């Protein structure tokens, strides 16, 4: 069945990631063995390794209630348990956003975040670092029945007063005036704000992570889902129901929460048109009529949503799950689950692999390329030195004296260059410090604290909006100032490398310019989507002070994290920016000192010269072996065409 193909593809992806991890370890050891490892280089490699180790393929499922979204998750990933693992029956479905993954360090569990935490300013991401704020239920992953029973807690609801629901941002008297009786004093709300589920399912162990987001109300009251979690997913599956088509609430969710998360140019957005079994009722129609009906619905959904028909997949999740449990291949084929399974297998995983490959190529790949260039330069210098030594006539004292004079002159020029480099390095460090100061917590945190203080003191949405406008302008200005400093640094770096290009051949070792443009674009995306979220007609709760406060707190937290990442990236770049040139200069010093030492020794005897030649030949052989090793690493991290069938390697 297709799930096996998905498992094999994920396994191949996991093996490729393991190969990358081995390459980072090998490269770290290689740098240390060559004695060329700078602190910045090692930190960059550690960060890359951690990113690969923690890499998860996140697939988010988004839909209004009663679209069969959780049933689709059961059918796609967990049919091998033989049960409807996640609650997906009418009236017993997931009520809170749920993340499903494998946490190898912590084992099997459900962690549930109480709905009351919505009253705090702490973000979901911060809560994940505070395990004590969650209720934990241990899972027995060997017992699907125990897990199924435990998962029923995801559907838990409770009744609270209207006042409490309003405080939590989950109720509005104005928007619910028609739906609620005047005599009704309580409101039903979810017990939990968020759920984390970990267990060692085969697909999850291979790095798959699932995000289940229940309904427009959840997205409309948890800005972090829209502004952080959905944009970070590798793929979003938007689920419709064939028996209802694209409803107004579906369209609101699509326009205001789903489509915007792909505005960064990211692909990985598809639609599952579920419940096609509702069209099977009249068997007299025949398959041809059914096919015409489905094609019509797909075409209509494509026009309304503005998405290609190729990524709209008619499916019956209910029948697919039943077919898999019963091993009924005919019913499984009729359910059409294979279409969306193939999409996940052949498109989502491939695109993620390409993205990760490009990211590694732009970071570690650049370091490896510099190492190759550096080593080739060392070998060329050593071979020139060997050629010169073979030309030495120890009986010709004039030749020896002339070579000594030339080398001393070379040494004097080198020392003058070192003074220039040290002066340039000092200037570079000063400008880097200016950039770090602009991006640092010491600059950003006071802006954030003042904004939160103003928001807390404001009792109206308008007051919060005024405070938010001020903080957005302050953060925009900080980013603009940072970009000005970054441009100055780029000009300085270019001038430094140009100064030494003639002597050291720096054209192939110059670092890529530091760029904060992508952070500026991301900052504007957060601000823009935040405002679009606030004005969204889909969320009738958004003018409530509690929800607006939650939205703005999320925007501020996202912006603060963005500045922290920009600062970290800038520091890492700055630590290694001049390292290639410093290594060339260090190598040149060693070559000059070695040449002087040889010239002093060779005047003693032919045996001494022969020994020096033999030693240099041996060193060149070692360097050539090291070059072979680093070129092998380069093959792994270079952005070459990816094998579409890694499991067959």
Cβ contacts of residue 394 below 8 Å, gap of 6+?
400, 602, 603, 605, 606, 609
Strand duo 109-114 + 235-241: pairing: unpaired
Contact 411, 592 (CB under 8 A): yes
Q: Which residue has the tokens 């094998």?
A: 643
Contact 240, 234 (CB under 8 A): no
Kindly list the averaged pLDDT for each block of 10 residues, start to end, along the chain of length 649. Answer: 78 90 94 82 88 91 91 93 85 83 94 92 88 95 93 92 84 59 74 95 92 78 83 93 90 84 67 91 68 90 94 95 93 94 91 87 86 88 82 68 74 78 91 95 89 74 78 92 96 90 73 91 85 59 61 85 93 87 81 74 67 88 94 83 44
**Nearest residue to 581 via CA among 424, 434, 382, 436:** 424
Tokens for 437? 């100061």
CA–CA gap between residue 232 and residue 266 (Å, rounded): 10
C-alpha pair distances (Å), 166 with each of 155, 224, 491, 543: 21, 19, 54, 11
CA–CA gap between residue 554 and residue 169 (Å, rounded): 14
Chain segment 390-437, per-residue pLDDT in tens:
877 666 667 767 777 777 777 777 777 788 888 889 999 999 999 999
Contact 240, 272 (CB under 8 A): yes
Please report how many Cα atoms fall inside a 13 Å half-sphere around the Cα of residue 558, on the Cβ side. Answer: 27
**Nearest residue to 185 via CA among 156, 158, 157, 163:** 163
CA–CA gap between residue 646 and residue 643 (Å, rounded): 6
Q: How does 331-367 read in b/e, with b if 16+ C-beta sit within 10 Å?
A: bbebbbbbbbbebbbebbbeebbeebbeebbebbbbb
- Write the DSSP assignment of 26-57 as a string of letters: HHHHHHHHHT---HHHHHHHHHHHHHHHT--E
CA–CA gap between residue 358 and residue 27 (Å, rounded): 18
Tokens for 486? 């970054």
What secondary structure letter does DSSP report for 74?
H
Residue 110: what pLDDT? 96
Residue 198: what pLDDT? 97
CA–CA gap between residue 222 and residue 340 (Å, rounded): 28
Residue 395: what pLDDT? 62
Find the helix or strand (DSSP H, E) in which 186 lies. Answer: strand 186-190
Q: Is residue 572 classed as helix, strand or coil in its secondary structure?
A: helix
Q: Which residue has the tokens 């067959």?
A: 648
**Nearest residue to 107 via CA among 190, 205, 7, 41:** 205
Tokens for 237? 């599956």
Find the helix or strand (DSSP H, E) in which 320 lies. Answer: helix 317-326
Residue 284: what pLDDT? 52
CA–CA gap between residue 104 and residue 77 (Å, rounded): 19
User: Where are the alpha helices (H) located in 110-198, listed in sequence order?
Assistant: 124-128, 144-151, 162-167
CA–CA gap between residue 344 and residue 335 (Å, rounded): 17
Tokens for 178? 């028609």
Chain segment 334-380, per-residue pLDDT in tens:
999 999 999 999 889 988 888 888 888 888 888 898 899 889 888 98
Contact 305, 254 (CB under 8 A): yes
Residue 193: what pLDDT? 93
What secondary structure letter does DSSP report for 107?
B
State the burial class of residue 567 (Cβ atoms within 10 Å of its Cβ: 0-12, 13-18, 19+): buried
CA–CA gap between residue 221 and residue 216 (Å, rounded): 9
Residue 526: what pLDDT? 85
Tokens for 606? 């032919």
In Å, the largest CA–CA distance within the chain is 115
Cβ contacts of residue 138 below 8 Å, gap of 6+?
107, 108, 109
Q: Is residue 88 classed as helix, strand or coil in its secondary structure?
A: strand
State the burial class of residue 446 (Cβ atoms within 10 Å of its Cβ: 0-12, 13-18, 19+): exposed
**Nearest residue to 646 via CA among 207, 12, 19:** 12
CA–CA gap between residue 636 and residue 26 (Å, rounded): 11
SS3 breakdown of the chain: % helix, strand, coil, rounded to 5? Answer: 70, 10, 20
Find the helix or strand (DSSP H, E) in which 159 lies. Answer: strand 157-161
Find the helix or strand (DSSP H, E) in which 99 lies. Answer: strand 98-101
**pTM (2 decimals)?**
0.81
Strand duo 269-274 + 235-241: pairing: parallel
CA dihedral 526, 532, 533, 534 (to 10 degrees): 110
Beta strand spans in 220-362 (E): 235-241, 269-274, 312-314
CA–CA gap between residue 218 and residue 222 (Å, rounded): 6
Residue 394: what pLDDT? 61
Q: How does 274-311 read in b/e, with b if 16+ C-beta sit within 10 Å?
A: bbbbebeeeeeeeeeebeeebeebbeebbeebebeeeb
Return phi, psi of residue 88, to 5°: -145, 15
Residue 177: what pLDDT? 54
575: left (phi over 0), alpha (psi -120 to 50) or beta: alpha
């Amino acid at each position: 069945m297709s799930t096996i193909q998905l498992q094999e593809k994920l396994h191949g992806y996991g093996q490729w990631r393991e190969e990358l991890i081995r390459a980072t370890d090998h490269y770290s050891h290689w740098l240390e063995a060559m004695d060329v490892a700078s602190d910045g280089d090692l930190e960059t490699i550690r960060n890359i390794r951690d990113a690969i180790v923690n890499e998860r393929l996140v697939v988010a499922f988004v839909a209004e209630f009663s679209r069969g979204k959780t049933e689709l998750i059961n059918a796609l990933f967990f049919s091998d348990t033989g049960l409807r693992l996640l609650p997906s029956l009418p009236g017993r479905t997931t009520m809170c956003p749920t993340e499903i993954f494998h946490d190898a360090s912590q084992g099997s569990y459900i962690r549930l975040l109480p709905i009351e935490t919505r009253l705090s300013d702490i973000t979901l991401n911060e809560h994940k670092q505070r395990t004590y704020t969650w209720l934990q239920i241990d899972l027995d992953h060997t017992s699907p029945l125990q897990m199924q029973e435990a998962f029923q807690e995801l559907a838990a609801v409770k009744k609270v007063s209207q006042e409490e629901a309003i405080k939590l941002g989950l109720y509005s008297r104005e928007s619910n005036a028609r739906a609620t009786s005047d005599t009704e004093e309580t409101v039903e709300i979810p017990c939990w704000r968020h759920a984390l589920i970990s267990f060692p399912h085969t697909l999850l162990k291979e790095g798959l992570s699932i995000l289940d987001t229940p309904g427009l109300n959840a997205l409309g009251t948890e800005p972090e889902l829209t502004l952080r979690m959905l944009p970070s997913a590798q793929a979003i599956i938007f689920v419709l129901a064939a028996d209802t088509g694209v409803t107004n609430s579906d369209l609101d969710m699509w326009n205001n929460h789903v489509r915007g998360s792909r505005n960064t140019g990211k692909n990985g957005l598809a639609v599952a048109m579920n419940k096609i079994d509702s069209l099977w009722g009249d068997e007299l129609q025949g398959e041809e009529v059914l096919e015409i009906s489905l094609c019509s619905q797909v075409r209509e959904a494509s026009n309304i949503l503005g998405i290609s028909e190729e990524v709209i997949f008619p499916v019956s999740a209910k029948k697919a799950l039943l077919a898999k449990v019963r091993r009924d291949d005919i019913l499984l084929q009729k359910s059409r689950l294979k279409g969306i399974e193939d999409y996940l297998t052949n498109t989502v995983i491939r695109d993620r692999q390409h993205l990760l490959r490009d990211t590694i190529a732009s970071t570690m790949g650049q370091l490896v390329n510099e190492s190759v260039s550096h080593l080739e330069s060392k070998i060329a210098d050593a071979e020139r030195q060997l050629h010169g030594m073979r030309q030495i006539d120890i009986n010709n004292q004039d030749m020896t004296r002339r070579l000594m004079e030339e080398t001393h002159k070379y040494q004097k020029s080198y020392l003058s260059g070192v003074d220039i480099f040290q002066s340039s390095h000092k200037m570079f460090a000063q400008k880097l410090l200016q950039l770090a100061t602009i991006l640092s917590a010491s600059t950003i945190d006071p802006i954030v604290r003042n904004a939160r203080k103003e928001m807390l003191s404001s009792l109206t949405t308008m007051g919060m909006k005024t405070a938010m406008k001020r903080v957005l302008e302050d953060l925009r200005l900080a980013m603009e100032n940072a970009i000005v400093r970054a441009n100055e640094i780029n000009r300085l770096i270019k001038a430094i490398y140009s100064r030494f290009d003639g002597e050291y051949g720096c054209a192939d070792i110059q670092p890529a310019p530091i760029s904060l443009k992508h952070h500026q674009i991301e900052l504007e995306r957060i601000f823009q989507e935040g405002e679009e979220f606030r004005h969204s007609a889909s969320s009738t709760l958004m003018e409530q002070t509690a929800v607006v406060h939650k939205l703005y707190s999320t925007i501020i937290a996202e912006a603060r994290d963005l500045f922290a990442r920009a600062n970290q990236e800038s520091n890492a770049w700055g630590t290694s920016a001049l390292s290639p040139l410093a290594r060339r200069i260090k190598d040149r010093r060693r070559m000059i000192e070695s040449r002087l030492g040889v010239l002093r020794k060779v005047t003693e005897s032919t045996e001494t010269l022969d020994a020096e030649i033999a030693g240099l030949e041996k060193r060149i052989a070692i360097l050539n072996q090291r070059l072979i090793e680093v070129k092998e690493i380069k093959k792994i991290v270079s952005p070459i065409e990816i094998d579409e069938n890694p499991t067959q390697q």
